[in-house]
Amino acid sequence: MYTDRGLYRLLLQPPLNRQYIKCLRNKDLSVTMGNIIPDYVREFNSNPQGAPVHCFVPTYDPNFGFDGKRKEMKMVATVEEMDAAKIPPQNRDFCAHLLIEYKKCIHLKPSVMCSHDLHNWDLCQYDQSTRRVMEYEREFRLKQREIRMNKKANAEAMAA
């Protein structure tokens, strides 16, 4: 009896390689930030001024606390290109040129042959999400710092 033929082969195979999923489960990107109830959620519920809300607009100077100037993000795709490719407004971000490439590819070829372009766009979106989470963390820490400094100043003023 050939146990390595037919459906038995599926049983003999090693489990699927989940390297890609492991990459998505990066601790730095996990929405709980390493806790069941994350710090920022606890902070926001106890003191709404102490943590930024979801999808906030950054209030601090973008270069504050850095050694030099931060790189500005550059939009590659033009508005005319995005209009022509019918990119919806929520996708008109810094990955739009990759999405246009992917759309072009699936227009010309079968979509299974465009997984490379799709993956490129996916990675770009992943980087963007990372950036957004880092922006949140930066705002959160700066707010906490401001609160701490205000408390210290108040204590000194009370002592004096």
Q: Is 121 one of the binding residues for another protein (CB under 8 A)?
A: no
Q: Is 133 one of the binding residues for another protein (CB under 8 A)?
A: yes
Q: Which residue stretch of 3-11, 14-22, 112-120, 128-136 sits at the interface with another protein (rule: CB under 8 A)? A: 128-136
Q: Are the beta carbons of 116 and 98 closer than 8 angstroms?
A: no
Q: Are the beta carbons of 139 and 52 closer than 8 angstroms?
A: yes
Q: Which is nearer to another protein, 94 or 122 (CB)?
A: 94
Q: What does the DSSP 8-state code read for residue 7?
A: T
Q: Are the beta carbons of 52 and 143 closer than 8 angstroms?
A: yes
Instruction: State which of residues 26, 35, 45, 154 lies at the interface with another protein (CB under 8 A).
Output: 45
Q: Are the beta carbons of 114 and 106 closer than 8 angstroms?
A: yes
Q: Which is nearer to another protein, 10 or 31 (CB)?
A: 31
Q: Is 68 one of the binding residues for another protein (CB under 8 A)?
A: yes
Taking CB under 8 A as the criterion, which residues in 88-107 touch another protein?
Answer: 89-90, 92-94
Question: Quick one: CA dihedral 110, 113, 116, 122, positive or negative?
Answer: positive
C-alpha closest to that of 101 among 79, 129, 120, 123: 120
Residues that bind another protein (CB under 8 A): 31, 33, 38, 40-41, 44-45, 52-58, 62-63, 66-73, 75, 79, 89-90, 92-94, 128-129, 131-137, 139-140
